[in-house]
Structure 1
Amino acid sequence: MYQMISTQNEDGIFTITINRPEKMNALNQQVLKELALAVEEIYSDRTIKAAIITGAGEKAFVAGADISEFLTLSEENGRDLAQLGQVIFQRIENSPKPVVAAVNGFALGGGCELAMACHFRIASENARFGQPEVNLGLIPGYGGTQRLTQLVGKGKAMELMMSGDMISSADALSWGLVNYVVPAAELMSKTISILQKINAKAPLAVSRVIKCVNAAIDKQVDGYETELDEFAACFGTKDMEEGTAAFIQKRVPNFTGE
């Protein structure tokens, strides 16, 4: 089904691996289209509870877009390409199931944008982040100007995007771009352990947390109103009944996502 990515569903955790290690997992249009299909699996497959996006090998998560494809693009083509990327990354950001980036090596340009579209990020010690598009006479086009600003603040985002510099995993942690930095050998186990913890919680509540947090940065909606609606909706779920009953009875809840 896929040629440039690989997928695996193990115990409800769906791993999407960008699989072009010889090209530093660069995002070409074929990769984007395959990624879009894999993301739709997260939405539609009831056996998937959470997802990980990572890159093949230890050198790169995704080292950027495939620059060779840019040489023939017109303004109109460029807009279409950016819109394709933005739509896919918005689907990741708005996934009702947790999607975490396990960042191994370089996450540059479109790779950094892909990582930022995930709900949070865990990095290996050798990870490097950056938006170096200005070196090519370009700017980020897959939502990077917006998400980087939201995550690290205006000043740091301005500096990183205007200088084209890379930052280390340690800097990314101190800036708030990633949640954890771990040795490369522990990257996937750390990511899986966090998702296993999340998967033990009420799925509908987790989904509503994602929706409400995203509403905090969505100019089109009132985040507080969204929270009111989603909080109220929890009271119509079996998971809320089970969770509160389990708490009172001092037992582990058995959530069903209903």
Structure 2
Amino acid sequence: MAVLVGCRSFWQSFRVQAAHRQSACRLAAAFFSRRYVLSNRVVLCPRLNGHGAVTRYYSSDSKDDLRVRYLDGEDSGIVVVGINRPKAKNAISKNLVKMMFEAVEDIKKNKKVRSVILCSLVPGIFCAGADLKERAKMHQSEVGPFVSKARALITELGSLPVPTIAAIDGAALGGGLEMALACDIRISCGTQRLPRVIGVSLAKELIFAARVVDGTQAQQMGLVSHSVEQNDSGDAAYLRALELAREINPQGPIAIRMAKLAINQGIEVDLSTGLAIEEACYSQVIPTKDRLEGLAAFKEKRQPHFKGE
């Protein structure tokens, strides 16, 4: 597995205003589980085997380009988004962008979703970046709008309110790597996010040289937290991603969404503003039934049962 470092990334931010600040305001630990584990190996997702999962298609043309499964049973709340363009090495086409936009919109509207796994259904490749064969057929006037839409898709993926996990088995190039970069748990690189992870100097070296790095090197550089040894069926990272999603599932979904918002927005500003964002996010948790359930579970020394209410 190799990752090509030589891409550009885009970051979407928005401001959260806090009318009042309280110095003691912090995110409640019972609700804000901070188990962010990265997998630097890939995940082949040939089966997407989740108890009775239902595949949803988003286009009558090339409908198999993207397969979205909403798992059920004990895995209810986990959504698996699988890219499936074997002849094009999962390259990003107009149709794939359209389908992914629709999938992301569906996920955003579904309050029952607790985590998302982005993976490939094609052995040995995550995404080869832009579909250059399709791009060559575009009129010059079409290229700019298409690139803008693809960038907007990556921004939308990055702004999903629930935890996202990129499980990558094979090469992730250009825009494909950007999709992984947009996820919360990922193999990451790019001109904006990469320096924040490994520092400006090393980021410049990797980007300027367009260096290819494998999973072990990525871990050594601090790009990822864990390296997963590949198994015979080629789906070790997907299985690890699913395991992680199952760790996230029992946590308070409202608090997790607010935690992601607080972290993503707070890291971009000074500490004082970050604390105001944290307070504003926590204020959204205070009136929920889940907060009361967390307190009751702590008092009764039992596992809480959060419902997202």
TM-score, length-normalised on structure 1? 0.84
1:106 aligned onto 2:171: yes
1:188 aligned onto 2:238: yes
Relative to structure 1, is the Cα distance of residues 255 and 88 closer, same or farther in structure 2, using a 3 angstrom cutoff? same
| Distance in 1 of aligned mates of 2:97 and 2:196 | 24
Alignment of 1:63-102 (within 5 A): 63-71=128-136, 72=138, 74=140, 77-102=142-167
Partner of 2:305: 254
| Distance in 2 of aligned mates of 1:79 and 1:170 | 36
Query: Alignment length, in residue pairs?
Result: 238
1:17-75 CA-partner distances (Å, limit 9, x unpaired)? 1101222111122111111111112111234221111112231111211122443464x
- State the AA in 2 paired with 1:160: L
Is the 2:81–2:119 contact (alpha carbons within 8 Å) kept by the matching residues of 1?
A: yes
1:172 aligned onto 2:218: yes
1:150 aligned onto 2:215: no
- State the AA in 2 paired with 1:175: M
| Distance in 2 of aligned mates of 1:69 and 1:156 | 34
1:161-214 CA-partner distances (Å, limit 9, x unpaired)? 211121101112222323332124322221111111111000011001110111
Q: Root-mean-square deviation (CA), in Å?
A: 2.2
Relative to structure 1, is the Cα distance of residues 78 and 162 closer, same or farther in structure 2, using a 3 angstrom cutoff? farther
Partner of 1:19: 84
Relative to structure 1, is the Cα distance of residues 236 and 100 closer, same or farther in structure 2, using a 3 angstrom cutoff? same
1:67-116 CA-partner distances (Å, limit 9, x unpaired)? 22443464x64442332122211222111111110011111111110000
Q: Which one has a larger percent strand, Structure 1 or Structure 2?
A: 1
Relative to structure 1, is the Cα distance of residues 115 and 242 closer, same or farther in structure 2, using a 3 angstrom cutoff? same
Relative to structure 1, is the Cα distance of residues 219 and 87 closer, same or farther in structure 2, using a 3 angstrom cutoff? farther
Where 1:239 maps in the other structure, the secondary structure is helix
Aligned counterpart in structure 2 of residue 116 of structure 1, from 181, 184, 189: 181
Partner of 1:159: 205
- State the AA in 1 paired with 2:288: T
Partner of 1:216: 266
Where 1:181 maps in the other structure, the secondary structure is coil
Alpha-carbon shift at residue 158 of structure 1 (Å): 1.4
Question: Identity percentage over the alignment?
Answer: 31
- State the AA in 2 paired with 1:115: A
Where 2:227 maps in the other structure, the secondary structure is strand
Find runs of 4+ consecutive structure 1 residues off by over 6 angstroms: none
| Distance in 2 of aligned mates of 1:177 and 1:111 | 16
What are the ranges of 5 or more consecutive residues in structure 2 without an aligned counterpart? 1-56
1:117-170 CA-partner distances (Å, limit 9, x unpaired)? 011127xxxxxx87xxxxxxxxxxxxx422223333222221222111211011
Alignment of 1:33-72 (within 5 A): 33-71=98-136, 72=138
- State the AA in 1 paired with 2:302: R
Structure with bigger gyration radius: 2
Is the 1:100–1:118 contact (alpha carbons within 8 Å) kept by the matching residues of 2?
A: yes
TM-score, length-normalised on structure 2? 0.71
Is the 1:62–1:112 contact (alpha carbons within 8 Å) kept by the matching residues of 2?
A: yes
Where 2:129 maps in the other structure, the secondary structure is coil
